């Protein structure tokens, strides 16, 4: 779809560190690249596959100008919490990209358990696929299960195990009977989840109330309910938690550059809504809702000029 070029400026050279090729973040990244190149004609844009923590490190080191990450991971970076070895204080937010990074725990319908509490109480030797190490999805997964009484160490002692693999690989493992549970953080209803329900019978597991309170307090997530019938196979409400996904830059990014990138997102927002559905749900003003990391000065100026702040 065609975009109309924005105000003229010196061409930018942007590398954006995102997620695995073919995933949701790669779709976001491609759309952001389009808005940059249309807003500032002649700009070069490179999408680099990555994961949360590595993306933030690349941005802080100036090896990527932009990085996609969960706000909860960025908060860990500022505190120097694992997987970071030291505090990263140079991160600045550009825009909220997805307000619905919802923890969804998918299990085989015929699995001999219906809740995390049952797994913990009966010490079930379940096989769990989380996302790759260093992603917020894997960290959140470990936090969710631990808060419900299922630590990785406990699980191993029960005869179970955790696989750290890309989400699509985890879904394949579920279909092939290699794991019992797959966990990820994504908007609902997810087309990927709906598709797998057509290949095999599945169910969503809720997060226990006590675990939700603990995770929200420790990780900065929020409680959320996936309403019944959000998926064709889902007959009851499912309680869980959600994070959110943000576009980050470094405090060393020139203000004019951050302003141009942000103006591209604002002025071509209609394009973004067609390229990635979460933009339509949050609305243009939602771009400013970036969470605990402060906005880059150039981004803040762009939002103020557009009447969004």
Whether 145 and 116 have beta carbons less than 8 Å apart is answered as: yes
The string of DSSP codes covering 270-296 is HHHHHH-THHHHH-GGGGG--TTSPBP
* Same-domain status, 286 and 301: yes
Q: Give the end of a domain, one of 226, 243, 260.
A: 243
Summarised one tens digit per residue, pLDDT across range 39-96 is 999 999 999 999 889 999 999 999 999 999 999 999 999 999 989 999 999 999 999 9
In a domain, 2, yes or no: no
CA distances from 156 to 112, 121, 150, 176, 195 (A): 18, 15, 10, 21, 31
Summarised one tens digit per residue, pLDDT across range 170-213 is 999 999 999 999 999 988 888 889 999 999 999 999 999 999 99
Q: How far apart are CA 289 and CA 23, in angstroms?
A: 23
**CA dihedral defined by 56, 61, 66, 71, rounded to 10 degrees?**
20
* Same-domain status, 81 and 209: no
Residues 166-173 have a mean pLDDT of 91
Summarised one tens digit per residue, pLDDT across range 91-140 is 999 999 998 889 999 999 999 999 999 999 999 999 999 988 878 889 99
Q: How far apart are CA 272 and CA 122, in angstroms?
A: 47
- Domain harbouring 229, CATH code: 3.40.190.10
pLDDT of 216 above 60? yes
Structurally, how many domains does the chain consist of?
Answer: 2
For residue 126, say if its preceding peptide bond is cis, omega within 30 degrees of 0.
no
DSSP state of 126: -
Q: How far apart are CA 92 and CA 294, in angstroms?
A: 6
In the prediction, which pLDDT does 5 show? 45
């Amino acid at each position: 779809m065609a975009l109309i070029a924005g105000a003229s400026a010196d061409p930018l050279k942007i590398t954006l560190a995102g997620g695995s090729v073919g995933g949701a973040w790669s779709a976001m990244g491609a759309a952001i690249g389009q808005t940059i190149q249309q807003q500032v004609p002649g700009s070069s844009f490179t999408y680099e596959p990555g994961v949360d923590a590595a993306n933030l490190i690349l941005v802080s080191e100036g090896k990527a100008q932009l990085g996609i990450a969960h706000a909860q991971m960025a908060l860990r970076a500022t505190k120097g919490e694992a997987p970071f070895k030291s505090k990263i204080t140079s991160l600045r937010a550009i825009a909220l990209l997805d307000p619905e990074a919802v923890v969804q725990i998918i299990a085989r319908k015929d699995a001999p358990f219906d809740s995390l509490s049952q797994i913990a109480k009966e010490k079930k030797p379940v096989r769990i696929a989380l996302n790759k190490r260093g992603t917020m999805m894997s960290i959140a997964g470990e936090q969710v299960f631990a808060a419900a009484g299922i630590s990785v160490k406990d699980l191993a002692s029960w005869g179970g195990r955790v696989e750290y693999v890309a989400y699509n690989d985890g879904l394949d493992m579920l279909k092939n009977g290699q794991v019992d549970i797959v966990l990820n953080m994504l908007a609902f209803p997810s087309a990927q989840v709906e598709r797998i329900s057509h290949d095999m019978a599945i169910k969503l597991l809720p997060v226990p109330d006590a675990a939700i309170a603990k995770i929200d307090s420790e990780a900065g997530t929020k409680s959320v309910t996936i309403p019944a019938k959000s998926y064709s196979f889902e007959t009851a409400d499912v309680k869980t938690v959600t994070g959110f996904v943000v576009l980050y830059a470094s405090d060393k990014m020139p203000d004019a550059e951050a302003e141009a990138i942000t103006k591209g997102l604002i002025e071509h927002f209609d394009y973004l809504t067609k390229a990635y559905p979460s933009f339509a749900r949050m609305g243009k003003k939602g771009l400013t809702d970036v969470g605990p990391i402060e906005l880059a000065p150039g981004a803040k100026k762009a939002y103020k000029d557009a009447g969004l702040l």
